[in-house]
Structure 1
Amino acid sequence: MEPEGVRHRMVEVAKGVRLHVAEAGPEDGPAVLLVHGFPDLWYGWRHQMAALAARGFRAVAPDMRGYGDSDAPPSAGSYSIFHLVGDLVALVADLGQPQVFVVGHDWGALVAWQLCLLRPDLVRALVNLSVAYHPRSSEGSPLQVIRALCGEDHYMCRFQEPGVAEAEFALYDNSHKFKTVFGMRKPAPPILPKDKTFFDSLDSDGTCPPWLSEEDISYYADKFEKTGFTGGLNYYRCMDLYVTYVPFSLSWFY
């Protein structure tokens, strides 16, 4: 359930691209930028937003490019790290504060690392979850390294071909997908069996934890019904353009 006092607005961050932004707390409070991962939304930060707002911070949680109520450019090339960091730079400028606290999770953590590398002047402090900083390997691009270690059945490799993962995801309704993900009992395997889909590979009985309600699941299901999963999958399809690579052993889905 959405906490009281959340404000919603659209911010133009690039030509033809607007981000949906949820905010809570005083507008003149120190800004905390909350950056979600895959497959998530601003909504994943709702409890943290309420806590931050109660302490006088301005909690700012966008739906990242390709997610929720934000715009989703159709081209996979529109999801490079330069686009994603550029979106956050434009959002920080819109907030009117010279620096912000940044908190990232999963892919949001990786984008936050890149923001610190490319525009350290905008970041007052950083807290990241799930994805540790890892320099780019001299042994090859991120996907080359993953393929060499794990083969083509690593889930990040399976996500690469446009349309393939989308067709697999379409086999399940969105409520089922999110109940499966949030109901995982063990970390997800990075290597997917050839005869199983991504969701069939998860150790989950579909029972959500007590802090996640049917209303919460419905919110996720409705938003992903609107945009689909292509925007989020395109982050994986631009992996080789990142300054650093995803340390897959620390991914949120493990």
Structure 2
Amino acid sequence: MRDYEHQRLDVNGIQLSLYSAGPANGRPVWLLHGFPECWYAWHPQIDALAAAGYRVHAPEMRGYGQSSAPREIGAYALLTLCDDILGAMDTLGERTVCVVGHDWGAVVAWHLALRAPERVQALGAFSVPYGGRPKRPATEIIREASAGRFNYILHFQEPGVAEAELDADIERSLRLLLGELDRPLLHDRPAGHGLFDGLPAHPPLPAWCDADTFDAYRQSLARGFHGPLNWYRNFERNREETAPFAGQLVTPPTLFLVGDNDPVARLEAHTLKRMADVVPRLEQHRLPNCGHWLQGEQPQRVNALLLDFLARHYPA
């Protein structure tokens, strides 16, 4: 595994574990991972951005790795997660930055641009689009749409249920989630089934995930899935707390990337269609033959698109 600078910052009532690379005087770029990822998922981008002269920061998000993992569900509300990053920026003396997020990290990135548009000069969001503040909490909409069928977001809602399944064999859980993501998440079955029912006991690693990368994932989830799952348990709170953003546009220049085989993007097809209405400076690309873990699956393509975008909107 590569040797990056590491520190723990006291921010927003927690300790935030942070890995950094690149020249100390480079323009800062923050890379925010999603579920169930780790900071090291960004290592192809960290290396490319640092080589291009940027100061790159990849935090272990709240609940992951060496960062604090509070027990309370409310400690993982969306704006609290945003304030972790804003607090870290303040601690490092960074007034303006570029923020790039994937999966749940993209959700945080979108809302950082809404919460502090004067500080986010360029934005990258991978896999998860933004179509404006939802009219109702996502869980409410999903319950109506699921009609008694299994839905992984609903499965994650009851504290302890998904933890018992995912924590029983963390290595197997990660192998299944990092492999064919649509099998555990989107395979049609009745409500009440488990996340991994009927799936292999010893799944192989996907081709893009080498031993060092997988070891970083295991370390990131070594304490279990409680903290990461709590991110999913705040949809109602998140909608209430984001009321000030209703009707607000995402104003920074924005790069959106999605794999054409990404099952999460298929779930968000309607949001993808609305995105240009609320993100006026949007540039988007679909990556062919690519799934959900795009920064690992197609790092050269992702790096090329990201560096080109930054050269035009946030030069080193």
Normalization by structure 2: what TM-score?
A: 0.71
Report the equivalent of 1:92.
89
Please give the secondary structure, in 2, of the residue aligned with 1:198.
coil
Distance in 1, Cα, partners of 2:181 & 2:79: 35
Distance 1:135 1:201, change over 3 A: farther
| Structure 2 unaligned regions, length at least 5 | 246-263, 270-291, 294-316
1:142 maps to a residue whose letter is A
Task: Write the deviation string for residues 31-70 of structure 1: whole angstroms up to 9, x where unpaired.
Answer: 0000110001111111110111111101100001111110
Output the CA distance in 2 between the equivalents of 1:51 and 1:118.
28
> What amino acid does structure 2 have at the position aligned with 1:12?
D
2:208 is the alignment partner of 1:211: yes
Q: Note the alpha carbon deviations across 1:144-185, whole angstroms, 9 max, x for none.
A: 1111112463111110111111112133x2221222222217
- CA–CA distance in 1 between the matches of 2:181 and 2:115? 37
Instruction: Determine which of 10, 13, 18 is the counterpart of 1:12.
Output: 10
Cα distance, 1:137 vs. partner?
Answer: 3.1
Partner of 2:33: 36
**Given the alignment, which residue of 117, 120, 129 partners 1:120?**
117
Corresponding residue for residue 286 of structure 2: none
Structure 1 stretch 55-64 or stretch 203-212: which is displaced more?
A: 203-212
**Equivalent residue, structure 2, for 1:26:** 23
In 1, are the aligned partners of 2:15 and 2:68 still within 8 Å (CA)? yes
Asked if 1:230 is matched to 2:259, the reply is no
Shift of 1:85: 0.9
Aligned residues: 246
How large is the Cα RMSD of the aligned pairs? 2.6
8 Å Cα contact 2:167-2:224 kept in structure 1: no
Q: Which residues of 2 match residues 235-254 of structure 1 at below 5 A? A: 235-242=231-238, 243=242, 249-250=267-268, 252=292
SS state of the match for residue 120, structure 1? coil
C-alpha distance in structure 2 between counterparts of 1:200 and 1:214, whole Å: 26
Tell me which residue corresponds to 1:183: 179
Give the 5 Å matches for 1:164-203.
Answer: 164-171=161-168, 173-184=169-180, 188-189=185-186, 192-194=189-191, 196-200=193-197
Amino acid at match of 2:82: V
Letter in 2 for 1:94: T
Query: SS where residue 199 of structure 1 aligns?
Result: coil
Shift of 1:74: 1.0
Amino acid at match of 2:71: P
SS of aligned partner of 1:12: strand
In the alignment, does 2:218 pair up with 1:221?
Answer: yes
Q: State the SS of the aligned residue for 2:186.
A: coil
**TM-score between both structures, scaled by the size of structure 1:** 0.87
Following the alignment from structure 1 to structure 2, what is the Cα–Cα distance between the partners of residues 76 and 134?
25
Displacement of 1:222: 3.1
Identity %: 37
* Partner Cα distance (2:170, 2:63) in 1: 17
The Cα shift of 1:105 comes to 0.4
CA contact (8 A) 2:41 2:213 kept: no
Flag structure 1 segments of 5+ consecutive residues without an equivalent: none
